[in-house]
Amino acid sequence: MERTTPGIAESGLPILILFLSLLTGALVVGFSDALLISSLLFAAVVAGAVAFRHGYGWDDIQTETGAKLAAALPAIIILLAIGILIGSWMFSGTIPALVYYGIEIISPRFIVLTAFLATAAMSLASGTSWGSAGTIGVALMATAAALEAPLAISAGAVVSGAYFGDKMSPISDSTNISAIGAGSDLYDHIAGMVYTAGPSFVVAFGIYLLAGFSGHSGNGSEIPEAARQTQANIASAFDLGPLPFIPPVIAVFGMIRRYPAALVILASSVAALAVGMIANGFAAPDALKAAINGFNVEMLGDSAASMSDSTRALLNRGGMASMAFTLLFIVSAFLMAAAMEVSGALSRLLNAMLARVRSVFTLIAATMAAGATLISMTSHGGVTALIVGNLFRKPFDDMNLSRRNLSRSIEDSVTIVEPLLPWTVSAVFMATTLGVPTNEYAPWAFFCFTGSLFSLAIAFFFRWTGFGIRVNKQRSLPNDQ
């Protein structure tokens, strides 16, 4: 059968089906993991049917899916490693100790602001949003739960902080790949991002601070009685001396030194399992159970009987098995993306966006639309940055616009948008790791969605302000810019 390329309407059909399926399901039965997977598989079937109609077979889709899984293997390994880390940090008493002292040190009123700033600092230093959210983010979420702070806004603050650092750090993979994809100098790229990341950071900081003063981030300045009970439960079951802090020291040191994230996380996990056996007296078989299936308070023996329900919910977490849903999601998402890619549907959609470019604003809007579309389909920031960067280099050059405008547009539509789309790998990772569904934390992840808004606003008003867009040469730009 002759291979052809689908038209624009047919190319966009799988995306339309995905959105309609998610929307209908959410309205009828409510948003759930099952709805997310079934919607992705339904859209993948539609994408596969489009590919078959244009001469492509199952072997083509299967091969492309395998290639995408191979490319995503480093992220998958990190995902599994963080599952192990959460279980082992519970086992060692690391997270319980951080919660215990966090209740003492952090004002309940400002737990959300603390979550934002602490995660931002960690991510900026380490260059990894996943590593920051999976380590200090988890501890902060546990502290927020103990302080009875709203978990949705707390998770939104963690995600905002994690992606601020990931976007602005010179040692971040996404920052470097965005610069490479656009052909921009790395530090020039970071300087250009200040125009959108700076205002977004200020907005997020202000809202999280206001949430503290308005009483929307916790129960005022008083520590809730339930938090005191959690402290008592933790103190009776775990050693709160210096040993539980060895695993996070290893994690922070390794990430700052830019050692491979998965190996750093595993090293911290091994240390945590050893600490759990030495400091807390757990048995070796329990160490393996905590790493694979997650920590369970029944491992505490007699101490478990006095545990409150809230403390049990806080501690019963982690393990490699807890990431099983995310792996299922990845396979489903890649099946859809592979079918769209082999049929040429993705290329047709991207080229259609490019064909409508007539001005500075429409060029940047098209770039961001392409980035958001591709990341929503592939969940691979590196691939998206390279494809969009190479596709849009010439249009930016033709308008004599600096390549840093292109690299910034990629970051503002890919890096910080991915955790807001419930069907992407990053969003599922954040939801799984922080224990809050994407649709609940996304409205509170102010840094992530305001970045895109500021980027579009700067491009729209550039014709009158001349602000925020670097032009390579002084010449007349299109009148409708």
- The CA dihedral of 149, 252, 439, 459, to the nearest 10 degrees, is 120
Would you call 6 exposed, middle or buried from its count of C-beta atoms within 10 A (0-12, 13-18, 19+)? buried
Q: Are 417 and 211 in contact (CB under 8 A)?
A: no
Place of tokens 């899916």: 65
398: DSSP letter: H
Q: Are 2 and 55 in contact (CB under 8 A)?
A: yes
257: DSSP letter: T
pLDDT value, residue 35? 83
The amino acid present at 153, given as its one-letter code, is: I
pLDDT value, residue 34? 83
Name the 3-class secondary structure at 471.
Answer: strand
pLDDT value, residue 126? 65
CA 416 from centroid of its chain's CA atoms: 8
pLDDT value, residue 312? 84
pLDDT value, residue 217? 59
pLDDT value, residue 30? 76
CA 227 from centroid of its chain's CA atoms: 29
pLDDT in tens, the chain (481 residues): 788 989 989 998 988 888 788 788 878 887 677 887 888 899 899 999 999 999 999 999 999 999 888 877 877 887 788 889 889 998 999 888 888 887 778 777 888 999 999 899 878 866 778 878 887 888 889 888 888 888 999 999 999 999 998 888 876 778 878 888 888 888 888 899 999 999 999 999 999 999 887 765 555 556 667 777 888 888 888 999 999 999 989 988 887 787 887 888 899 999 999 999 999 999 999 999 999 999 998 998 887 888 877 778 778 888 999 888 778 877 887 888 889 889 988 788 877 877 777 889 999 999 998 899 888 876 767 768 877 887 788 889 888 999 999 999 999 999 999 999 988 888 988 998 898 999 999 999 999 999 999 999 999 999 899 899 999 865 545 544 4
Q: Are 390 and 381 in contact (CB under 8 A)?
A: no
Q: Are 51 and 232 in contact (CB under 8 A)?
A: no
User: Could you tell me the two tokens for 169?
Assistant: 């750090």
pLDDT value, residue 221? 58
pLDDT value, residue 139? 84
The amino acid present at 254, given as its one-letter code, is: G
471 forms beta bridges with: 401
Dihedral sign from CA coordinates of 182, 187, 191, 193: positive
pLDDT value, residue 480? 47
Q: What is the 3-state secondary structure (H, E, C) of 357-422?
A: CCCHHHHHHHHHHHHHHHHHHHCCHHHHHHHHHHHHHHHHHHCCECHHHHHHHHHHHHHCCHHHCC
d(CA 349, CA 436): 33
Would you call 86 exposed, middle or buried from its count of C-beta atoms within 10 A (0-12, 13-18, 19+)? buried
d(CA 151, CA 145): 7
* The pTM of the whole model exceeds 0.75: no
